[in-house]
Amino acid sequence: MTRCINRLTISVLSAVLFGGLMGGLAGCTQTQKNPAPQANGAPAQPNAPVWMGGYQGQIALTAGKAKPIALWLSPQGGYRMDVGGWGSGLAQEFSGRIQWQSGHRLNLVGAPEPLAHWQVSEGQLTTADNQNTLAQTPPLVGVLALPTEWALIDLPGTPTDAHLKPPTLRFSLTQQVAGFDGCNRLMGAYTLAGQNGLHFTPLASTQMACATVTDDAAFRALLAQVASARLSNEQLIFQNAAGQEIAQFRAVNSQALPSSSRKNSASRPE
């Protein structure tokens, strides 16, 4: 189990939520669900393919209100938690290290009470007081939503202007998408098909007039052609139905999850 997890530490994005889960973890799936305690006496972790990745749900507040919550768990021992809105300054963001307890219980060091203590079960996390439950998202959803933003770096057949702000996309764990096409803001949703299949529903947009010449129409046309997505060297690649690469994006914050050695913080991860 230890060797399997160590193979995942190549990079936060490619090994934690996509490359590791889709490839490197293939050789780890036969490990037992309840491994023996580690040699150093520390509590054993549940099988990495089971608990790593993204979780989302609602947390109960007073007066019957609720807030959305998104949580990412890394096999390197770090976490990131967003409480409130997604992809905006309205969300409270926390990050730090995971502290494993006996069984399948974990503490999130630096997270607010009562969101610091969780019980891991198949496909979900439950707070220690049993008041809140988060559902695990499909692997591709976790990959898309982990970075704060994806910025376009290549659109084949369309020249890019380094002086203009590139088109961007932001994804939520509830399969919402928002972005910028080079001129106007976009908003809508996306759906999944199989392991890597990705399709955008028709996206709504603002109707602002642009002061400079942009390729916003080409970008919107691109989104309508997307049939699948994959990660390669921390770049997000869109493909069409024929398997051809039609766009490449880079993660705006490539270290979205803290490493196990990084200092605990209740601020946005570096």
pLDDT in tens, 43-73: 666 766 678 889 999 887 666 678 889 999 9
Q: Which long-range contacts (CB under 8 A, 24 or more apart) does 21-28 make?
A: 21/49, 21/52, 21/53, 21/139, 22/139, 22/195, 25/49, 28/1, 28/4
Q: Is the pLDDT of residue 262 over 70?
A: no
User: Residue ranges of the domains in the chain?
Assistant: 2-137, 149-251
* pLDDT band, very low/low/confident/very high, at 215 (cuts 50, 70, 90): confident
User: Higher-confidence residue: 130 or 33?
Assistant: 130
Please say whether the structural domain 2-137 has been given the CATH code 3.30.420.130. Answer: no
* Percentage of residues of the chain with pLDDT beyond 90: 33
Predicted TM-score (pTM) of the model is 0.72
Question: What's the whole-number average pLDDT of the chain?
Answer: 75
User: pLDDT tens across 145-201, in order?
Assistant: 888 889 999 876 665 555 678 899 999 888 999 999 888 999 999 999 988 999 999
pLDDT of residue 85: 73
pLDDT of residue 257: 55
* pLDDT band, very low/low/confident/very high, at 126 (cuts 50, 70, 90): very high
User: Higher-confidence residue: 85 or 37?
Assistant: 85
pLDDT of residue 54: 92
User: Higher-confidence residue: 75 or 191?
Assistant: 191
DSSP secondary structure string, the chain?
A: -HHHHHTTTT-HHIIIIIHHHHTGGGGGTTS-SSPPPPTTSPPPPPPHHHH-EEEEEEEE-GGG-EEEEEEEE-TTSEEEEEESSSSSTTSEEEEEEEEE-STTEEEETTPPTTTTEEEEETTEEEETTSS-EEEEPPHHHHHHHSSS-EEEEE-TTS---TTSPPPEEEE-TTSEEEEE-SSSEEEEEEEEETTTEEEEPPPEE--PPPSS---HHHHHHHHHH--EEEEETTEEEEE-TTS-EEEEEEESSTT-S--TTSPPBSS---
CATH architecture of 149-251: Beta Barrel (2.40)
Q: Is the pLDDT of residue 31 over 80?
A: no
Q: Which residue in this structure is represented by tokens 């770096």?
A: 153
Q: What is the mean pLDDT of residues 107-116?
A: 91
User: Higher-confidence residue: 26 or 142?
Assistant: 142
State the sign of the Cα–Cα–Cα–Cα dihedral 48, 94, 134, 38. Answer: positive
pLDDT of residue 17: 45
- CATH topology agreement for domains 2-137 and 149-251: yes
* Percentage of residues of the chain with pLDDT beyond 70: 68
DSSP secondary structure string, 176-194?
A: EEEEE-SSSEEEEEEEEET
